A = this chain, B = another copy of it.
Amino acid sequence: MISNSAKEELRSIVGADWFFDSPNDLLAYSYDATPLYQSLPDGVVMPANTEEVAGILKICSRYKIKIVPRGSGTNLSAGTVPIEGGLVLVLTRMNQLQEIDQENLTATFQPGLITSDLHQAVERVGLFYPPDPGSMRISTLGGNVAECSGGMRGLKYGVTKDYIMGLEAVLPNGEILRTGGKNAKDVAGYDLTKLLVGAEGTLAVVTGITAKLLPLPESKRTMVAYYRNLTDAARSVQSIIANRIIPATLEFLDQETMRVVEDYAHCGLPLDMAAMLLIEQDGPASVVEQDCAKIQELCLKEGAVEVRLAADQTEASQLMTARRASLSALARLRPTTILEDATVPRAHLAEMVEQINRIAQKYGVHICTFGHAGDGNLHPTCMTDVRDKQEIHRVEKAFEEIFYAALDLGGTITGEHGVGMAKAPYLELRVGKTGMDVMKGIKTAFDPDHLLNPGKLFAKETRRRVVVGNHGGCSHPEHKLA
C-alpha cells in the first residue's frame, strides 16, 4: 500500500502525468517476460532524470515503500515482478545516448536506452559494443546492467560486466553514488561498478552508464555445421578451442529446436540431423578466412556431415535469424514456454546435453536445447501448459534435476538470465551458506530496510519450484495464474 500522502509527494516529484495507480496501469507492470510469475504493484512512477529518481527513493525510504526498478522487463528470471507490491520505478523515459567518446572509446548513456540503438549508433562511427542479449531490440541497457546480460558474442567478447566502466546510481536512501569512469585502469577502492552490474536492482537504481567500446571488426563470416549426433558437435566445439581459435559466436541447436525453427522460419535446415553448430568469426579479413577454413576442417574431422560457409551477408543474416528465432519458434508449440539457463564449463557440454535429454525423458516432459555452446551456456527450453498442474509439477522436478546436474559438473544455475525469483531457491546450492551470508551482508550494507527489489536473489522459502503465486489479485481473469 502506498498512502495518499506518499502518492502526493511522488506526484510532486515527477508531475501528475508520470505517476500511475489505475488498475490497468498496475496490471501492465505486474509481470515481465518470465512465464508463471505475476504480482500487482501499488503504483508506477516514470522519472525523467537522476534527481527525480533520488527524490523518489527519499520518499520511499521515509514511507518504507518497496521499489522495483525496471526497463523493458525482458528478463527471464522474474527479476522485475513486484512480488511484494510497492512502487514500480520505470526508467524508460531516461533513454538518452549522451556521448560517444571516440578518443577514449567509451559511450555514456541513460539506463532506458535500447541495447540495439546503442549498437547502431556506435557502429555508425566504426565502434563496437559486443553484448547482444536475445532481447536486444527491446531490452534496455539499464536492464542489461542489472542482469549482466550475455548474448551470442560472449565466447570471444565476454558479457555486459566486461564493458561497464562507470555507473551513476541512486542508493536506497536517495544519495547519488558515482563509480568508475573513463579510466582504463582504476583501483581506487572496492570495485562498486562490477558489484552493481548483475546485482539485479537489489542494491541501487542505476541512472547513468559509461561503457567501453572496441573498434568494429573489419569483417565477419558465418558458417553452419550439421551433425548426426550430439557428441560430434560437442567434440567440434572442444576441438576448435583446443586449436586456439576463439570464434565470436559458437551456437548449438539440437534436433528438436532445428525442426521447430525450420517450421517457423523456413531457412532450409536439414531435419534429419541431430544437431547443428552456428559459428561466426570476425576480425581482419585474412584472419577470418584462415580461421573459417580451419574451423571447417576441424568440424569435418570431428564428424560433421556438412559444413557450409554463408555465401553472403543475406545468407549469414538468415542463419543468425534462425538461431535468434529459437525461442519464438518453440513458444508456438504449447501455451507455456520455460527457457532455462543451466551453464557448465565448456568441456562438459556434451555431457550436459545428454543429462538434459535423460532428465526430460525421465519426467516425461518436452525439452529442446539450444544455446551458447562456446560458453557452455545452454538454454534447455520446456514447452508445457501452466494449467496442467501435474505436468507443471514434473517440469519443476525436471528443472531441479537439471540444475543439480549442472552443479555436479562444476556449472552454475544461471549463466546469463539472473537469479531473480526463478532461481532464488537454488542460489544457496551454488554459492553455499557462506556465500549467502556474505551476499546478505552486502545487501544490508546498501539497503538496510530491504526496500529495493524485494524477493529477488534471496529466497523466502526453500521449496524449489518454477511456479509461484500472486501478490494481491489481478483484475483481468485471463492474467490470473493458478
Chain A interface residues toward B at CB < 8 A: 101-106, 126, 147-148, 150, 154-155, 159, 161-162, 171, 175-179, 181-192, 194-195, 197-199, 203, 214-216, 238, 241-242, 244-246, 283-284, 286-287, 290, 343-347, 372, 374-377, 410-419, 423, 427, 430-432, 434-439, 441-442, 444-446, 457
Alpha-carbon distance A104/B413, docked complex (angstroms): 18
Inside 8 A of A445's CB, which chain B residues have their CB?
438, 441-442, 444-445
Residues of B within 8 A of A194 (CB): 161, 191, 194-195
Task: With A198-B191, A286-B287, A438-B446 as known contacts, state yes or no: A103 contacts B186, CB within 8 Å.
Answer: no
Q: Would B185 and A191 count as touching, CB distance under 8 A? A: no
Please give me the residue from chain B that is nearest to A237 by CB atom.
B103
Q: Select one of B147, B188, B284, B347 contacting A187, CB under 8 A.
A: B147
CB distance from A243 to the nearest CB of B (A): 9
Please tell me if the beta carbons of A195 and B195 are within 8 angstroms of each other in the complex: yes
With both chains docked as a complex, state the minimum distance between the C-beta of A439 and any C-beta of chain B, in angstroms. Answer: 5
11 A-B pairs with CB atoms under 8 Å apart are A101-B347, A104-B346, A154-B185, A175-B434, A182-B410, A187-B417, A192-B435, A195-B195, A215-B246, A286-B286, A441-B446
Asked if residues A189 and B244 are in contact (CB atoms below 8 Å), the reply is no
Given contacts A216-B244, A244-B216, A245-B215, contact A430 B188 (CB under 8 A): yes
With CB as the reference atom, state the residue of chain B lying closest to A239: B103
Closest beta carbon of chain B to A240's beta carbon, Å: 11
| B411 & A183 in contact (Cβ 8 Å cutoff) | yes
| Cross-chain contact of A186 among B106, B126, B343 (Cβ < 8 A) | B343
Please give, as numbers and ranges, the residues of chain B lying within 8 Å of A347 by CB-CB distance.
101, 103-104
Beta-carbon contact of B198 and A187 below 8 Å:
yes
Copies of chain A in the complex: 2
Given contacts A242-B102, A445-B438, contact A430 B344 (CB under 8 A): no
* Chain B neighbourhood of A159, CB < 8 A: 185
- Chain B residues, CB < 8 A from A431: 178-179, 188-189, 192
Given A148-B187, A189-B419, A441-B445, decide whether A103 and B181 contact each other with a Cβ distance below 8 A.
Answer: no
Task: Kindly list chain B residues whose C-beta atoms are within 8 Å of the C-beta of A438.
Answer: 171, 177, 192, 445-446
A179 proximity list for chain B (CB < 8 A) = 431, 435
* Minimum Cβ distance to chain B for residue A346 (Å): 6
Give chain B nearest CB distance to A118 CB in angstroms: 18
Q: Which of B185, B189, B199, B439 contacts A430 (CB 8 A)?
A: B189
Neighbouring B residues of A187 by C-beta, 8 Å: 147-148, 198, 412, 414-419
Complex Cα–Cα for A49 and B282 (A): 44
Q: How far is the CB of A300 from chain B (nearest CB, A)?
A: 20
Residues of B within 8 Å of A375, CB to CB, are 183-185
Report A156 CB to chain B, min CB distance, Å: 10
Contact B186 A415 (CB under 8 A): yes
Chain B residues, Cβ within 8 Å of A183:
343-345, 375-377, 410-412, 415
Docked Cα-Cα span, A346 to B150, in Å, equals: 28
Pick the contact of A377: B104, B185, B344, B441 (CB < 8 A): B185
Could you say which residues of chain B place their CB within 8 Å of the CB of A185? Answer: 150, 154, 159, 343, 372, 375-377, 412, 415-416
